[in-house]
Amino acid sequence: MKKLLEVFSLFSFGVLFLCQCATKPVIDSSNRRASSLSQLGYEAIPLLNKVKKDKRLSQEFLVNSRKVHFLIDTGATMTSLKERLEWPLGLLRNESHNRIVTSAFGQSMETPTAYGTLQIGKTITSRKLFELAPFTENENSRKQYGGLLGVDALIASGALIDLENSALWIPRHQPSNHQLAKITKHSVSISPMPGNQLLSITTLVKGQRLVWQLDTGSEVSLLQTNKAKSLALKLETTPYRVIDTSGTVLHSKKATLPSLQCGSLVVQNLTTQVVPLWQGDQKLLNQRGERVNGILGIDFLRHTKALIDPQNNKIYFGSR
């Protein structure tokens, strides 16, 4: 049987399992990073795995005072909700603004937008603009979540995404962000891509510069097919298929990067799925105009114990 990999947002992927997980999230107060972040002025919101065997993180947040289950997704430019929730949540349709969202496989979709109030912890954003994801009968990731908490909301709230403790950390007051490098082993600058705020990071693989999108909504890391070939990587057949938000399905292959260097961090033998991302004229560029070659997903981010600070364009790895 083929296994299904799914796209969770604009350019984000993941494995979908249908068994629900009932584990209640808890932050280990004895964890050194957790203790340090609390002392620096952050308050933890524990995250959970909504879907069994799925390492992506999610949590319920309030939209117009009603609970909605969101996937934490740095692969989504704008926070989105299922369109069918528009009336139950009492959202105000924005008739003057629709968005064109293009999937990683080149399929474009027009999505409406609407206003509402979003509360993340004690942080409340009134008149928040949400993308409304239209209903589709095609199998896709949105069926498992009420919405995707995108980069816009993460930046606005000042949230840190902590993959070691499975938590969002929300500032109680103006935090001492310059102290974060002292509680982690590695610090690397990330940059928002022009026009969409998606997060990019540059690495070295086999002496070549590779630009990646950081995507907490992706279950696995992915590499563009042409780049895998230019690196002379061995491609292995896998039982996986990849599906994007439009329902487009492609088969993927597997490759192992012998070494990936990110600042002072070196990761050995990183496995990636290889797929034809961003074909033809469709491409993502970082601030230097370099093409984005792949996606570093939740597998990489968990393995490296990443701490992502989207507001200040930093990512930290490991703990001291």
Which pair of structure tokens corresponds to residue 310? 């989207």
Residue 207 has pLDDT above 70, yes or no: yes
* Helices H / strands E in the chain, number of each: 4, 23
What single DSSP character describes residue 20?
B
Residue from 277, 217, 275 nearest 12 by CA: 217
pLDDT of residue 21: 43
Residue 102 has pLDDT above 70, yes or no: no
Q: Look at 44-58, 77-91, 129-143 and tell me which has the smallest mean pLDDT.
A: 129-143
Question: By three-state DSSP, how is residue 298 classified?
Answer: helix
Residue 66 has pLDDT above 80, yes or no: yes
Scanning 121-188, the segments in alpha helix (DSSP H) are 151-157
CA distance 306 to 263: 13
Q: Which residues contact 292 (CB under 8 A, 6 or more apart)?
A: 193, 200, 211, 212, 213, 278, 283, 284, 285, 286
pLDDT band per the 50, 70, 90 thresholds, residue 6? very low
pLDDT of residue 267: 97
Asked if residues 14 and 297 have their Cβ atoms less than 8 Å apart, the reply is yes
What percentage of the chain reaches a pLDDT higher than 90? Answer: 62
Residue from 201, 217, 219 nearest 294 by CA: 201
Task: Please tell me which residue, 143 or 46, carries the higher pLDDT value.
Answer: 46
Q: Which residues contact 199 (CB under 8 A, 6 or more apart)?
A: 74, 151, 190, 191, 192, 193, 213, 214, 308, 310, 313, 315
User: pLDDT tens digits, residue range 210-242?
Assistant: 999 999 988 889 999 999 999 999 999 988 777
**Mean pLDDT on 50-70:** 90
State which H helix or E strand residue 43 sits in. Answer: strand 42-46
Residue from 9, 296, 34 nearest 168 by CA: 34
- Summary mean pLDDT of the chain: 85
Distance set, CA 278 to CA 110, 224, 226 (Å): 18, 8, 11
Q: String of b and e for 219-235 (b: at least 16 CB within 10 Å)?
A: bbbbbbbebbeebebee
**Mean pLDDT on 195-208:** 93
Residue from 44, 36, 55, 67 nearest 167 by CA: 44
Q: Look at 5-14, 49-58, 145-154, 155-164 and tell me which has the smallest mean pLDDT.
A: 5-14
**Mean pLDDT on 8-22:** 38
Q: Which of 16-30, 107-121, 151-165 has the highest mean pLDDT?
A: 151-165
